[in-house]
Amino acid sequence: MKKTETIPRLESVLFYVMEKTIKSYRQFAQRNLNSLKRDLTIDQWLVLKTLYDNPKLTQREIAERVFKDHASITRMIDLLVNKGFLERSLNPKDRRRYALELTSMGKMAQQESIPIIMENRATALKGLTTEEVETLRHLLQRITDNCHHTHQKTKQS
């Protein structure tokens, strides 16, 4: 009889724990962001922050920075335009593209969210030393790089 490999319990799998951690943080952060009564999700805030920091980005570049596919970022931008946080206009240099700009309401929502975002991060990292946070960041980046490099090799083959 063929022996099958035993798969560990999910709770002991690092990637399961990472996903659980991310989901817990996002739920916690969203509850706190909701206190502003701005009807803004964490992902929508990330789009506003990305555009605030990099006002000339294209929709594709925004999608890459916030880890969203084209359809998701299109829906998100449409919502942000409809809510009055973003303004979309034809790009004068390339009429096939749109220029995106934060409205004054979008800038205000992004800026007034910062104390909540910073408090969320501080609460989540409470009890961790600066060295532990840097080690964790380094290890997670190494995992990301491993996955990215493997994906690149597979695409080239």
Confidence tier at 145 by pLDDT (50, 70, 90): very high
For the chain, how big is the Rg over CA atoms in Å? 20
| pTM for the whole structure | 0.82
Paired tokens of 124: 């989540």
Distance CA 103, CA 109 (A): 10
Distance CA 124, CA 131 (A): 16
Residue 79 has pLDDT above 90, yes or no: yes
Residue 148 has pLDDT above 90, yes or no: no
Residue 18 has pLDDT above 80, yes or no: yes
Q: What is each CA distance from 26 to 32, 79, 81, 83, 135, in whole angstroms?
A: 10, 20, 23, 22, 22
Residues 31-41: what's their mean pLDDT? 94
